[in-house]
C-alpha cells in the first residue's frame, strides 16, 4: 500500500485521464478484437496461440482470485482513494490483476512474433505500462500486478514452446481440446463449490464462470474449426478482409448485447461467453465463407 499512497500523492487530472486510457488496452474487448483481427483476416495460427494463452492464463488468474480472496486496495485501507472512473471496471478480487493478465497475454506473444527489436521492446513496455496504470489508478497493488505478469509470461512461454503442436499437428486435436475443456469445467466447479458453501459471494464467482465458459467455447471451437472448417484467414483482398473484420466485430458486439439478456446469473454468464467464443471461432467464419461462395 505504501507505493499506492505515493502514486495517489502525485496524481493529476491529466494523468488520471491518460492512465485510464492506457488501462483500457488491458480490457477484454480490445484483446478479443485483436484476436478476431488475426483470426479472421491475417494469421489464424497466431490467433490460436493468442487464444490459448489468453484463456489458459485467464483461468489460472480467476482461480487464484477466488482462492486467495484479497480485497481491493480501497477495501484493505478505507482511507485510500482510487481514481473513481476506474472503480466500476474493477470487479472481483484484487489478486492477481486481470487487466495485467490480458495485457501480457496480448503484447508478450506479439513481442515473440516480431523479429524487430524495437517492436519487441515496445510490446514489453506496453504491458508493463498497463500494469503500472492499474497501480496508479488504485485498483491493484504491486503484488497483484507482478503475480499476474509472472503467471502470464510463464503460460505464454510454455504454450509458445508447443506452438507447432497447437497450430500444425492434427493427431491430438481431441486430446488437446479435452484438456482445456477439463480445466475450464474444473475452474467452474471449484467456483461453484466456494459459492455454494458461502466462501465467496455470487458476484465474485461470476468472473470465474465467464472464463470457464470462454475456455469451453475455445476448446470446442478450436477443435471444430481445425477438424471440419479449416478456413483460410488470408483469403481475399485487403478490402474484402477489412469488410470481413468490420462486419464480424459489429455482429459480435450485437450478439454479445443480445446474449446479455440471458441474465446475470453465473450459469447465464458462462453460457454467454461460451456462445460468444463459438461464434468468433466457428459460426461466423462458416457463415461468412458460405455466403461468399454463393455470391461468387
Rounded mean pLDDT, 265-292: 91
Q: What pLDDT was estimated at residue 3?
A: 87
Is 139 within 8 Å of 82 (Cβ atoms)?
A: yes
Question: Which residues span the domain enclosing 96?
Answer: 2-295
Q: What is the pLDDT of residues 213-267, one digit of tens each?
A: 999 999 999 999 999 998 888 888 888 899 999 999 999 999 999 998 888 889 9
According to the model, what pLDDT value does residue 17 have?
Answer: 92
Q: Which among 119, 141, 113, 106 has a CA at the least distance from the CA of 24?
A: 106
pLDDT beyond 90 at 67: yes
Residue 155 is predicted with a pLDDT of: 95
Amino acid 295: pLDDT: 65
Give dist(CA 74, CA 93) in Å, integer. 12
pLDDT at 1 over 80: no
C-alpha angle 142-63-216 in degrees, rounded to nearest 5:
130
Residue with cell 495460427: 45
Q: How many domains does the chain have?
A: 1
- The pLDDT value recorded for residue 90 is 73
Return the ∠ at Cα 59 (arms to 57 and 65), rounded to 5°.
100
pLDDT, residue 82, reads 85
Please, which pLDDT band fits residue 84 given cuts at 50, 70 and 90? confident
Whether the pLDDT of residue 203 is over 60: the answer is: yes
What is the reported pTM?
Answer: 0.90
296 has a pLDDT exceeding 60: no
pLDDT over 80 (residue 273): yes
Amino acid at each position: 500500500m505504501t507505493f499506492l499512497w505515493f502514486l495517489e500523492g502525485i496524481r493529476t487530472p491529466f494523468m488520471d485521464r491518460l492512465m485510464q486510457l492506457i488501462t483500457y488496452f488491458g480490457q477484454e474487448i480490445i484483446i478479443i478484437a485483436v484476436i478476431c483481427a488475426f483470426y479472421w483476416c491475417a494469421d489464424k495460427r497466431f490467433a490460436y496461440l493468442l487464444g490459448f494463452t489468453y484463456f489458459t492464463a485467464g483461468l489460472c488468474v480467476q482461480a487464484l482470485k477466488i482462492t486467495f480472496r484479497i480485497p481491493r486496495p480501497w477495501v484493505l485501507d478505507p482511507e485510500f482513494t482510487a481514481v473513481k472512473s476506474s472503480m466500476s471496471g474493477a470487479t472481483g478480487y484484487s489478486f492477481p490483476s486481470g487487466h495485467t493478465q490480458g495485457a501480457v497475454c496480448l503484447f508478450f506473444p506479439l513481442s515473440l512474433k516480431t523479429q524487430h527489436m524495437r517492436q519487441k521492446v515496445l510490446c514489453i513496455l506496453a504491458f508493463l505500462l498497463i500494469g503500472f496504470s492499474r497501480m496508479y489508478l488504485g485498483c491493484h497493488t504491486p503484488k497483484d500486478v507482478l503475480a499476474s505478469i509472472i503467471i502470464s509470461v510463464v503460460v505464454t512461454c510454455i504454450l509458445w514452446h508447443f506452438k507447432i503442436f497447437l497450430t500444425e499437428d492434427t493427431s491430438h486435436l481431441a486430446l488437446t481440446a479435452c484438456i482445456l475443456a477439463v480445466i475450464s469445467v474444473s475452474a467452474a466447479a471449484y467456483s461453484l463449490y466456494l459459492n455454494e458453501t458461502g466462501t465467496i459471494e455470487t458476484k465474485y464467482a461470476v468472473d470465474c464462470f465467464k472464463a470457464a465458459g470462454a475456455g469451453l467455447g475455445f476448446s470446442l471451437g478450436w477443435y471444430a474449426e481445425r477438424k471440419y472448417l479449416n478456413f483460410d484467414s488470408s483469403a481475399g483482398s485487403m478490402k474484402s478482409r477489412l469488410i470481413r473484420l468490420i462486419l464480424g466485430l459489429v455482429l459480435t458486439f450485437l450478439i454479445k448485447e443480445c446474449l446479455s439478456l440471458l441474465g446475470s446469473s453465473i450459469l447465464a454468464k458462462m453460457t454467454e461467453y461460451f456462445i460468444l467464443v463459438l461464434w468468433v471461432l466457428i459460426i461466423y467464419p462458416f457463415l461468412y465463407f458460405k455466403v461468399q461462395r454463393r455470391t461468387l
